[in-house]
Amino acid sequence: MITPELLHPESIVVVGASNNTHKPGGAIVRNLLSGGYKGTLRLVNPKEDEIQGIKVFNDVEDIPPTQLAILVIPARFCPDVVETLATGKNTKAFIIISAGFGEETHEGLILEERILDICNKNGAALIGPNCIGMLNMCHHSVFTQPIPNLNRKGVDFISSSGATAVFILESAVIKGLQFNSVWSVGNGKQIGVEDVLQYMDENFDITTDSKVKLLYIENIKDPDKLLFHSSSLIRKGCKIAAIKSGTSESGSRAASSHTGAIATSDSAVEALFRKAGIVRCFSREELTTVGCIMTLPHLEGRNFAIVTHAGGPGVMLTDALSKGGLNVPKLEGEVAEELKSKLFPGASVSNPIDILATGTPEQLDTAIEYCDKRFDNVDAIAVIFGTPGLVTLYEAYDVLHKKILTCDKPIFPILPSLHTAGPEVDEFLKKGHVNFSDEVTLATALTRIMHTPQPAPPEIELFGVDVPRIRTIIDSIHSNGYIEPQKVKELLNAAGIPTVPEFVSDNKDEILSFARKTGFPVVVKVVGPIHKSDVGGVTLNIKSEAHLALEFDRMMSIKDAVSVMIQPMLKGTELFIGAKYEERFGHVVLCGLGGIFVEVLRDISSGLAPLSYDEAYSMIHSLKAYKIIRGTRGKKGINEAKYAETIVRLSTLLRFATEIKELDINPLLATEQDVTVVDSRILIKKDNNNNK
């Protein structure tokens, strides 16, 4: 629970306060005082009479009622102090800086549980333990540096880790990023990242609240809560970017299929962020750069003009933007020639606009003005301006400052000379601007934002999916494991997913009869062994009855073979769709190229079931192999709409069949006209078999 006393306390007590500002108890007092806290500040220390000019209480029993308590004392003393304050001093909020709790030992966990119980019983908020604290416009209750510039329109930052929060703040401050609040939740015993988002969502005021949220998450405890409140905030006009660390290990999952081999916890995170509309970042620099972009006016369109006085960075930015799907259009014609006439000889205006190292602040002003008002094929302006030692940067940056305030198009300042022009850059930042010191990092962050879809609608796509039939089929299956091919086919058909005609039998004559009806060539596959290809259990392009008879005999002699499946030989682009059930997340749906490419290239996209059509298209478009899907080098593309429809229908099937723990469609053959399931497997695990 987040209480008013946590956010806007009229009184604060620091238990464990110190005169030594190199200790957490001293640093917190210093930060509260330097931050201009306007309420009553009380300090407790049994060995001091005065700390940093404030009279000290020697025991918490002696203080008057106090709204917020900050504890910087050994873990073993914390529960008793919390109980004294919560029950005797009407304290309704606690920030516990101290470590040594559940993150270290079982004994520490017991202490932590007791503190949580006391807080919950007394209706008190609890931040921590094991955190750096929190800060907002009211109070700077952190023991660390730096303290960023605070502004009600700045970003809200929520971090699982205190130390990482400090490093992210370091990265943000040098960019000029301003903050509204910083939350370090530590162990998150009562209030975690999801709970802070919930509070921000449920109390959101579009006229006063920050519209940018940055997250550093180590453990997603409640994916549904994170999804719901992130999506809700974004729909209300907010922008959210996040790092989720600790996703490289796949955990204990059996790689019994393509899906099992490639589905990881990272796939689930990617799917959750995609559904929520959260911009996913992978480094501190990326997160703070994305945060800076989010504070600028919204980018309409994808066309950039680059104004620079250094050719190399302009070219690198052009390359990086183009790689990310953004455009640097050529500027030409009468307007371009007119601009060129106003620059020094040798300047280039084709885009990037290079005004040369000798370019003046006045010429910088002119180039930006032309990009904003005269070039219709420009949506945004990137300005790269450092110091070659020839220009007074204060004047150039003042031009940039004024242009940012007056131009209709967003301007992205790239000021790389942090060492040789530190004071000039600082002066620019103090005017409320941000700085992207590296052009490629900026382009990467822009790409992340542009490729992040809007939150998915909560409605489930049910058209053409026979949910009662799906449940009837699932309920008729009484054992765990991979289900028989006929049941797989029935489930897919109930979802409206087309499958190739097939026949399964252990009788050679029946297999031959099916081939005569459908016509040659055909494909045969062994039924029984999990990895058919590994045991020689797949034969393609069989063109005669004699060859088919030989292959039937050979396959039936393979270990664990129970029958043979026969299908007509189809042609098309091989695609892949898979799904894996992740505890707490639900079904993660994967898509990509099929055949061996899915495991060799690992070029896959993930989404969280149930999926909307927009999500399915976003998944397809984010594949590196999308050019193949769209058609390239004279080869026709596939029916992308049918591929997206199949992904959506499959996700709806999974939503109503949580007993499906793993699903593998590979290949899914696609042509210009249609997509057809050729081979698929479904793994069922039912709870009543105690084998979830």
Per-residue tokens: 392: 């007074």
**Structural domain ending residue among the three candidates 433, 453, 482:** 433
Are residues 355 and 381 located together in one domain of the fold? Answer: yes
CATH number (domain holding residue 520):
3.30.1490.20
Are 683 and 661 spatial neighbours (Cβ–Cβ below 8 Å)? yes
CA dist 430 and 447 (Å) reads: 28
Are residues 533 and 560 located together in one domain of the fold? Answer: yes
Are residues 607 and 522 located together in one domain of the fold? Answer: no
> Measuring CA to CA, how many Å separate 497 from each of 214, 287, 537, 582, 661?
40, 40, 25, 23, 19
Are residues 317 and 272 located together in one domain of the fold? Answer: no
Judge whether 87 lies within some domain: yes
Starting at the edge strand found earlier in the chain, the sheet holding 40-44 runs 50-51, 54-57, 40-44, 11-15, 68-71, 93-96, 125-127
Are residues 339 and 278 located together in one domain of the fold? Answer: no
Are residues 198 and 152 located together in one domain of the fold? Answer: yes
Are residues 38 and 160 located together in one domain of the fold? Answer: no
**Structural domain ending residue among the three candidates 79, 103, 132:** 132
CA dist 360 and 354 (Å) reads: 12
Strand residues in 385-516 grouped as ranges (E): 411-414, 481-482, 503-505
Are 609 and 589 spatial neighbours (Cβ–Cβ below 8 Å)? yes
Partners of 564 in the beta sheet? 505, 526
Judge whether 153 lies within some domain: yes
Which run of H or of E encompasses 518? helix 508-518
Reply yes or no: is the peptide bond before residue 79 cis, omega within 30 of 0.
no
Judge whether 332 lies within some domain: yes
> Measuring CA to CA, how many Å separate 400 from each of 295, 348, 357, 382, 394?
17, 20, 17, 11, 10
Helix axes 613-621, 265-276, angle to 10 degrees: 120
Judge whether 478 lies within some domain: no
Are 157 and 197 spatial neighbours (Cβ–Cβ below 8 Å)? no
Backbone angles phi, psi at 477, to 5 degrees: -95, 120
Are residues 287 and 189 located together in one domain of the fold? Answer: yes
Number of compact structural domains in the chain = 5
**Structural domain ending residue among the three candidates 102, 132, 162:** 132
CATH number (domain holding residue 418):
3.40.50.261
pLDDT tens for each residue of 382-433: 999 998 777 789 999 999 999 999 999 999 999 999 999 999 999 999 999 9
pTM attached to this predicted model: 0.89
659: number of Cβ within 10 Å: 19
Judge whether 442 lies within some domain: no
Cα torsion for 506, 512, 517, 518, to the nearest 10°? 80
Starting at the edge strand found earlier in the chain, the sheet holding 538-542 runs 503-505, 563-568, 522-527, 538-542
Are 537 and 558 spatial neighbours (Cβ–Cβ below 8 Å)? yes
Torsion over CA: 356, 357, 363, 368 (sign) = positive
Q: Quick check: helix, strand or coil at residue 526?
A: strand
Which run of H or of E encompasses 681? strand 680-684
Q: Which amino acid is at 489?
A: K
Q: Quick check: helix, strand or coil at residue 507?
A: coil
Q: What does the chain come to in residues? A: 692
DSSP, res 226: H
pLDDT at residue 262 in the model:
56
Are 629 and 638 spatial neighbours (Cβ–Cβ below 8 Å)? yes
Are residues 646 and 630 located together in one domain of the fold? Answer: yes
Are residues 530 and 587 located together in one domain of the fold? Answer: no
Are residues 287 and 151 located together in one domain of the fold? Answer: yes
Judge whether 422 lies within some domain: yes
Of 443, 447, 428, the residue nearest 314 (C-alpha): 443
* Spatial CB neighbours of 332, under 8 Å, sequence gap ≥ 6: 350
Judge whether 32 lies within some domain: yes
Reply yes or no: is the peptide bond before residue 610 cis, omega within 30 of 0.
yes
CATH number (domain holding residue 10):
3.40.50.720
Are 400 and 432 spatial neighbours (Cβ–Cβ below 8 Å)? no
CATH number (domain holding residue 598):
3.30.470.20
Of 679, 552, 656, 562, the residue nearest 609 (C-alpha): 656
Are 12 and 32 spatial neighbours (Cβ–Cβ below 8 Å)? yes
* Spatial CB neighbours of 494, under 8 Å, sequence gap ≥ 6: 465, 466, 469, 470, 473, 653
Instruction: Identify the domain containing residue 624 by its residue range.
Output: 573-689
pLDDT at residue 75 in the model:
95
Judge whether 577 lies within some domain: yes
Torsion over CA: 176, 177, 182, 188 (sign) = negative
Are residues 150 and 268 located together in one domain of the fold? Answer: yes
Torsion over CA: 469, 474, 478, 483 (sign) = positive
Flag residues of the chain having pLDDT under 70: 247-264, 688-692
